[in-house]
Structure 1
Amino acid sequence: MPANIITTDDLRVFKEELLEDLRQLLQSHSSGRSKKWLRSSEVMELLHLSPGTLQNLRVTGTLPYSKIGGIIYYDAEDIERLMEDSRIDNQ
């Protein structure tokens, strides 16, 4: 089996390709998080809530929602607003 010799130029090219791949991955990941509408499962995962707690937030009017064909959607801006309004600064 023949040996391949790796030069510093090869390593530099590999590093540049790897960094570009990471940039693209991070960019696509961050754009995925900026969805306008989230389903219940996404909200529960994002906020680490149980289905019952999420239902309580809906029933009490704490978290507005839209229901289309049996699927409940939440506006990402409403979730961010709720988190900011519920913020407690202990100073």
Structure 2
Amino acid sequence: MSHPFQESLKNIEQRLVELSKIVTSRQSQYTEDMFIDNDEFQRLMKISPGTATNWREQGLIAYSQINNKIYYKMKDVNKLLDDNYRPFKKK
């Protein structure tokens, strides 16, 4: 027979696991939908302003523009990297 304290502890552990899953899924969703500006994009990718412009003009990265300010969704940055991924080839 289980002790009530042990049952309560198991319920708390189960709830923590459920909450952890919720937090993890929301964090990844927030990160993917988050926007960064052009300066942050250039720092993140370690590229020059001209390279960022070329990538936009070539259609390599989706972006939003409001007046002279440019923004990128993190999911589009990840897509750029995924689309240009070259897997390691064994010799």
Structure with more contact order per residue of length (Cα contacts < 8 Å, sep ≥ 6): 2
CA RMSD across the alignment = 2.9
Counterpart in 1 of 2:83?
Answer: 85
Whether contact under 8 Å (2:32, 2:75) holds in the other structure is: no
Say how many residue pairs are matched.
Answer: 80
Shift of 1:22: 0.7
Q: Which amino acid aligns with 2:54?
A: T
| Rounded Cα–Cα distance in structure 1 between residues aligned with 2:65 and 2:26 | 28
- Deviations along 1:21-50, whole A, 9 cap, x unmatched? 112211211221331x62223x468xx434
Shift of 1:74: 1.7
- Specify which of 12, 15, 18 is matched with residue 16 of structure 2: 18
- Specify which of 52, 56, 68 is matched with residue 58 of structure 1: 52
Greater percentage in helix: 2
User: What is the TM-score of this pair, normalised by structure 1?
Assistant: 0.60
Structure 2: runs of 5 or more not aligned:
none
Shift of 1:20: 1.9
